[in-house]
Structure 1
Amino acid sequence: MNNRIEADVVVVGGGPAGIAASIAAARQGVRTVLIERYGFVGGMSTAAMVYPWMTFHTNSGEQVIKGIAQEIVDRLQERGGSPGHLRDTVGFVHTLTPYHPEIYQVVAADMLREAGVKLLLHSIVDEAVVREGVIEAVHVTNKSGRTEVCAKVFVDTSGDADVAYLSGAETLHGRAQDHQVQPMTMKFRMRGVNLDKVKQYMMNYPEDFYKKTPFAELPGLPLTGVSGFYSHWKKANLPINRDQVLFFTGPAEDEVLINCTRVQGLDATSAEDLTFAEQEGRRQVLMVAEFLQRDVPGFERASISAVAPQIGIRESRRIVGHYSLTKEDVIEGRKHSDVIARSGYPIDIHDPSGKGVTAAFISGDGAYDIPLRCLLSHNVPNLLAAGRCISTSHEALATTRLTPSCMATGQAAGTVAALAVLTEVEPVHVPIARLQEELRKAHAAI
């Protein structure tokens, strides 16, 4: 082993959950290392161009995700990198939050540095050192060779539960009956879109768009997202297994982010499947762009301005925790005594094999609780998860995977990891009242 790094908390995966976890841990005063495989942070928000962030609010407009996530939005607004929370003109949720990905990368890196986080980019964790069921270190491969990073607590924010898998922690994959996962999507941007023309077409033909589109409000709202053009998609008969056009506006005035490609039946934890998915996704990008330019009003002079560096992954592995969040927890808006985060995003399952999207909305006050037990590995005592790979059912994952929820679980995971180090106990033994007190002091909405 060429190098060795000693830390208290190691976070693996520099996406929104990992950023929040690292900042939260370091602000508690513990030595924190964040390991990220790309040369920049941001995870799916940057590497896969997942955009915009949805959602910080319930359907009635109550903000249920704050803390570090809102801090990031505030810092972006100060830098001109986000307009803040805007009305969702698709109508699926109350608000969405556009952001400029390049500015986000800088803002996040600044916040990590200010908190005192040691950041290792271009670094891949390929081994976990486990003794008597406890992780002692992870091995990292990068341009410097092999490095051993030792810590007391590890937080898996890899999205694919990579550290959990390497350490022997129990994991699940996809839905229970057949292990199938939600499809992957290669996202891309187009410039030169006439959004005034798009909006006018929506007003003229409301039947061609998502039923919850807020048409009565639309004349006075900036267009933030569009779901529909059903007749155009059906007529084009593209060999892509979906039933609509979906795009979101920004960050430039004539720019949109296209969410239309769909790659199904593949495993994002398989190198061969992921290789095929990347190629198929890019092939579909060209196909969809040509269709939009040819057939969709407002896209006549549009052209591709960017394609995501990697395909977007909705679902792969997740940990088995002390509790698995269920569909019923979400749609009934259930509350838990060990709540560490809340969310108002509905269940949103992109069919693993079919064309559609299955949605289920939250009753009651419009928010559900995410309990600490979902973040704790049930068989590796010093391992936590946050973001896409927390302990849930396939159905509940379809809401917890969204970026603001990932930020919230990340902040909680980083905080409990630090408290475990400071009090010299396993994370499961950190008093929930102490954890919740620290989260509230850090402005988390629990």
Structure 2
Amino acid sequence: MSKIHIDEIVLPAREVPVWREVDIVVVGGGLAGVGAAIAAGRAGARVLLVEAQGFLGGTMTAVTVGSICGEYVLENGTPRRIVGGLIEELVNRLMARGEARGPECWLQTATTIYDPFAMRCVLDEMIHEAGVETLMHTRCIDLDQKENRITGLVLGFRSQLFAVRCRQIIDCTGDGEVAALAGVPWECDLEHLQMPSAMFRFGGVAPGTLDTLDRAALRARLELAVAEGMDLPRTAGGLFSLRDGMVHANVTRLEHGARSPDPLSAEEMTATEIEGRRQVKLYESAFRRFVPGFEKAFVADAGSLAGIRESRRICGRHVLTADEVLRGAKSDTAIACSAWPVEDHGADRKTRWVWLEPGSYYQVPFGCLVPERGPGNLLIAGRCVSAEHDAHASLRVGATCMAMGQAAGLAAAIAIDDGIAAVGAIAIDKLQARLTADQAFLG
């Protein structure tokens, strides 16, 4: 077939009506975005939260990760909380409803097991209580920029376009969508991106199954399935159970040839979603045949999206390195802490884990949230912050993302209160004091 020549279509200029004027727009309603919006709203700012899905929680509720990672460090086998603030409040609310359990010791760390639908409901309540206005099923389409500032966003809902004027922007899209529109430098190396997963929940699992099925035993069973001819792309995975008979599975691996699918390609992501559903059914068959206790198991539900672990990483004032992560580096500009290991989902059936020293943690510098160049009133929080690949494999987890979002929301509110145009120029000691007052842990 001959190569098809694609012409450009030039769209005519059009006026877009201004729908709102607010202080801060947060784009992306995952844990980072919710953290940013709540923190800014509680600080007295007029906040608009924009989310593409019909619910909040992002990866935690759309992909359904099943466990909240990054809250704890183990000291002599005992979990100690190193991420507080809004994530602790969220977990406490879930616990009070019987919709979460933890901390659960697992490998060399501990996590909180939660119900994804319950998390959606609690996040709705927390956003409402903070006075945050929310638009769901809405995306950022374009930006209005003047003199190194974003003065407004063009938003899209169905076939409608409308604009919002604002003073500060926080990009929590996970894919750095606003940052890319604003011309912020970013990286996305397809040859080294982590592989996505499709996550799902089993029903019909025999009671007590997970009491004797640890990670090593699961891998041995799935390796047996591979030896018997089942083409399973991954045999090391995590299983979590909040209720009898229900088991959450994080065990698939979605590839595009020998690399990760391109998270910025509509074609490849479409193929990835379809492949994810195929793999869910494949693993259902493998578990029934080879894993004791799953003989009558079935797929009760699955995430509405494939779980993307890595896409754009912005180039920030500070680029977190693997060395900083693994040696537990500290920073005078710390806005969050993390002890999660380097968890790298590469191309083979295993997951690469590189652990910090027992009991240690590192601090996340404010500069990871501030673009090295671009609009002065833009911050980044969540999965697309500034970090090397291996450091990002530690930094990207849920608790740390919400902590970074909380810091970004407070920073934007401080910039407005103090009349500072470039949010990266705020007094870091003031931000740290406000975070500490709001129960965040900075070390």
TM-score after normalising by structure 2: 0.91
Contact 2:221–2:290 (CA under 8 A) maintained in structure 1: no
Distance 2:222 2:295 in 1: 18
The match for 2:277 is 282
**Cα shift at 1:196:** 2.1
Corresponding residue to 1:74 among 54, 70, 92: 92
Q: In the alignment, does 2:337 pair up with 1:321?
A: no
How big is the shift at 1:368? 0.5
Partner of 1:221: none
Contact 1:181/1:315 (CA < 8 Å) preserved in 2? yes
Q: After superposition, give the CA deviation of every residue in 1:228-260 in whole Å (9 maximum; x if it has no partner).
A: 53543442443343233x232223211111112
1:382-424 CA deviation, whole Å, 9 max, x = no partner?
A: 1111110110000111011110111111111111011111111
Q: When the two structures are superposed, what TM-score results if normalisation uses the length of structure 1?
A: 0.90
For residues 191-340 of structure 1, what are the structure 2 equivalents within 5 Å? 191-200=203-212, 209=216, 229=221, 231-244=223-236, 246-264=237-255, 265=259, 266-340=261-335
Stretches of structure 2 lacking an aligned partner (at least 5 in a row): 1-15
| 1:435 is aligned to 2:431 | yes
After superposition, the C-alpha distances for 1:3-33 in whole angstroms (9 at most, x for unaligned) are 4211111111000111111000111111111
The structural deviation recorded for 1:445 is 0.4
Partner of 1:180: 192
Report the counterpart of residue 154 of structure 2 in structure 1. 139
Q: After superposition, where does 1:386-405 map in structure 2 within 5 Å?
A: 386-405=381-400
> In structure 1, the residue corresponding to 2:68 is in which secondary structure?
coil
Q: Are residues 1:97 and 2:112 paired?
A: yes
Instruction: Determine which of 20, 24, 44 is the counterpart of 1:29.
Output: 44
- Give the letter for the 2:227 counterpart: K
Q: How far apart in 2 are the matches of 1:315 and 1:130? A: 28
Structure 1 moving runs of 4+ over 6 Å: none
| Alignment partner, residue 222 of structure 1 | none
The residue aligned with 2:363 is 369
Pick closer, same or farther for the CA change 1:396–1:4 going to 2, 3 Å.
same
Aligned partners of 2:209, 2:427: CA distance in 1, in Å?
56
CA distance in 2, matches of 1:81, 1:325: 34
Map of 1:20-169 to 2, 5 A cutoff? 20-60=35-75, 61-88=79-106, 91=107, 93-143=108-158, 145-169=160-184
Counterpart of 2:216, as a letter, is F
Counterpart secondary structure, 1:254: coil
CA distance in 1, matches of 2:49, 2:219: 37
Whether 1:17 aligns to 2:12 is no
1:215 matched residue in structure 2: none
Deviation (angstroms), 1:144: 7.4
Deviations 1:28-51 (A, max 9, x none): 111111000011111001111112
**Amino acid in structure 2 at the alignment position of 1:238:** M
| Letter of the structure 1 residue corresponding to residue 323 of structure 2 | E
Post-superposition CA distance 1:339-377 (Å, at most 9, x none): 0000111111011x3332222111274101100000001
- SS of alignment partner, residue 117 of structure 2: helix
Q: Match of 1:378?
A: 372
Q: What is the letter of the counterpart of residue 415 of structure 2? A: A
The worse-fitting range, judged by mean Cα deviation, of 298-307 and 78-87 is 78-87
Determine if contact 1:192/1:303 at 8 Å carries over to the other structure.
Answer: yes
Alignment-derived partner of residue 418 in structure 2? 423
In the alignment, structure 1 segments of 5+ residues that lack a partner are 203-207, 211-225
Q: 1:198·1:297 contact (CA, 8 Å) conserved in 2?
A: no
Structure 2: how far apart are the matches of 1:44 and 1:228?
29
Give the match's secondary structure for 2:143: strand
Alignment deviations for residues 45-71 of structure 1 (CA, whole Å, 9 cap, x no partner): 111111211131113222100001100
